Structure 1
């Protein structure tokens, strides 16, 4: 029996990458997804998940939060820096703050352990349908005032006197600016920015201040003031009259 995409054309079944360090859970998910006509690959830790994501370009990632080497938050952060692969988080932490953290970092959905495998399959299929309903060929651009960020090519620019000026940013500075631009009126705490934008191993919130300061100086050199904007006692928002 042939597989059909949403347009009615024959297509390769969607590939789901399962990042799960517990073999029993991974085997159950693989079995249910395959019976639903989907292809699967398995990663046993976060580093392997990133490597397989890079090489296989899966249609969706089922991502466990608590994994060895790299945890799910770090993997999700890197996946979002790379592009828009749909991600469903698998978490044993049944707390609202954990769910919100996943959604803020860019997860498309979450499932709390212990789960019904049939429910996971249903959620996978729903997220895949939504993803296929979007124009995935379009380049994801972030724009706010004179700023423009191309997420796929990791290029940031700002228009000065009507002319685009490419910003020479470090990876962390790029992630910080992109994060703030996605919700320019929202105030992000230092803890959120630390988890979302800084490399694994950086655990001091004051490190966020250092990167923000360096980013701000680069923008001030182009006569752009107040970006990012400090919100006393809370954190940072995109800011400026842009």
Structure 2
């Protein structure tokens, strides 16, 4: 884990990148942003999380880091110890956690709690869509006032550029930077079901799948919607043994 602190005083905001070692966009965006030598009006810190996994270009070494928070400092697992270190470092701060995906090219957010703080953070991120995942699964944003922004397709220059834009917009909205920013009013979706199995995805994320529509297939077998829903993080090769998630539109 590498930490960069900017501004005077104890950090009030944390930007985290590369929780997963096969998602370098967060690290690269943070480093490029810091190279621009911005003036910081409030204290903020930047964390490049799983450096060891980044070096090996793997998602994790022992355990998925984004499934083991708050971690265990005494664990034999690298990621469980690292999760504990990250929790100590971000205590009391608002957290923007940058990720990438294999399912969607444009930035969108995920979060655990919908409250005034997360609403403000979502608006400041500039995203058009945001997904409420209320279930506990060991993710970082379950533990803090924070949001995740998926910045684009994994391994692409566009995802890194999107991440840089999200950082600037978010920090300006949080009065950390004195630059122009765009506040958004994202459409909110709520996760309700996981679609298991390896499938070829035929629909589009965040576009409504109507009841009776075929949205995936494999070996001649077709997966038909039993009710209308919105696909989230669905892709042909994004997960092993899972297509993605179903959601309903809330706002």
TM-score, normalised to structure 2's length? 0.33
TM-score, normalised to structure 1's length? 0.34
The structure with the largest strand share of the pair is 2
Higher relative contact order structure (alpha carbons within 8 Å, sequence separation ≥ 6): 2
The structure with the largest helix share of the pair is 1
When Rg is computed on C-alpha atoms for both structures, the one with the higher figure is 1
